[in-house]
Amino acid sequence: MGKLDAAERRAIPTREFAGPDRSYPVNDKNHARAAKSRARQMLNKGHISQAEYDKICAKADRKLAE
């Protein structure tokens, strides 16, 4: 997974993000795996709700199934 610079991140369509406010890009399988991992960390820290975590994982899982 290559690191996204600001221009590359802006070029990703909003539908390719799993979290609110264009957080957790899932534009490819590596980013989808990373999104699930980071979302789990944020859930464990209490920064996101279970519902938000479930939504992020569902979108990431759809990308991983492609």
DSSP notation for 1-62: -PPP-HHHHHHS-GGGB-SGGG-SB-SSHHHHHHHHHHHHHHHHHTSS-HHHHHHHHHHHHH
Q: What is the pTM of this model?
A: 0.88
Q: pLDDT tens digits for 6-57? A: 999 999 999 999 999 999 999 999 999 999 999 999 999 999 999 999 999 9
Q: Is the CB of residue 62 less than 8 Å from the CB of residue 17? A: no
